Amino acid sequence: MGYNAYIFSPFCGLTLSCGPMGGMPVEKKQFAVIGLGRFGKSVGQTLCNMGYDVLGVDRNGERVQEMVEVLTHAVEADATEENVLRSLGIRNFDVVVVAIGKDLQASILVTLLLKELGVGYVLAKAQDPLHGKVLHKVGADRVIYPERDMGIRVARHLVAANIVDYIDLAPNYSIVEITAPKEFVGKNLRQLELRSRYRVNVLALKRGKKIHISPGAQDFLERGDILVVMGENDDIRRLEQQ
Ligand code: ATP
């Protein structure tokens, strides 16, 4: 079985040869996204906008056509066919995202084949915990649950409006971006005593487009500043409620 390849991307500004990303700078990570539904499209487009080379694969020709102008390389193919994956040179990609959700069989089979073919890092999207468990069992390096995670994010924003973003580090620890509460404005980090009062560490301060890594005790907060803090979830929650 073959595949249809399309060449591409004015946005990535690359001149490409057919096949597995010919002529790319060696140090740049190579990404492939299998399944160009809403999730796969969004991952691929964002990586491409960040300057990475992205191969998109989908068995649906219309979905591939939609992404021809966006991704570095877009291919219409059935990723459950091992010879197709081989001929795309998939094992040369540093990261492959399996963005197939509804077709459980395809999602599991593709993940298994990618690991068998030697792909270093496979991130797969799961519909539910059972699907996720199977993906782990067949070798996925990371399994994500986009709908569940977005639901958690939205709920957290609803109860703590000053939270900009957060990353779960471990079950009880997070890194959170939080807009400086009114009471913090005009004070420096020494006066705020966040470490002793809330048991959190300030990793960075964001002001507009600038980011100040490892801010010191003398740094004053201005209105609109964003604090990047790390700590236990209970302590972060107390800070959020400021
Ligand atoms: P999303 O929620 O991301 O929009 P979706 O719900 O539209 O996804 P999914 O079943 O998760 O649909 O599939 C995502 C994409 O994966 C679809 O565009 C589908 O054509 C593609 N796909 C499914 N199976 C394969 C396969 N074996 N090979 C290549 N692409 C596939």
Q: What is the whole-number distance in angstroms between the Cα of residue 2 and the centre of ligand 1?
A: 19
For ligand 1, what atom is nearest to the CA of residue 39? 3
Per-residue confidence band for 4, with pLDDT thresholds at 50, 70 and 90: low
Is 35 near ligand 1, meaning CB less than 6 Å away?
yes
Ligand 1 midpoint to CA 118 (Å): 23
Looking at the fold, whether 82 and 166 belong to one and the same domain comes out as no
Judge whether 47 and 55 are in contact, CB under 8 Å: no
Q: Are strands 173-179 and 226-232 parallel, antiparallel or unpaired?
A: antiparallel
Tokens of 88: 């795309």
Regarding whether 212 and 189 lie in a shared domain, the answer is yes
Q: Say yes or no: 42 and 133 in one domain.
A: yes
Percentage, residues of the chain above pLDDT 90? 69
Note the pLDDT of residue 171: 77
User: Quick one: CA dihedral 162, 165, 168, 173, positive or negative?
Assistant: negative
CB 229 within 8 A of CB 199: no
pLDDT (tens digit, 9 = 90+) per residue, 55-77?
999 999 999 999 999 999 999 99
β-strand 142-144 against 121-125: which pairing, if any? parallel
pLDDT at position 173 over 50: yes
* Residue 9: pLDDT band with limits 50, 70, 90: very low
pTM for the whole structure: 0.74
Q: Which of 80, 100, 149 is the pocket-test mutation for ligand 1 (most atoms within 8 Å of CB)? A: 100
Mean pLDDT of 142-150: 92
97 and 114 belong to one structural domain: yes
Mean pLDDT of 200-225: 93
Percent over 70 (pLDDT), the chain: 88
Q: Are strands 121-125 and 95-98 parallel, antiparallel or unpaired?
A: parallel
* Boundary (domain end) residue, out of 101, 117, 144: 144
Ligand 1 atom closest to the CA of 38, numbered from 1: 4
- According to the model, what pLDDT value does residue 229 have? 93
20 lines ligand 1 (CB under 6 A): no
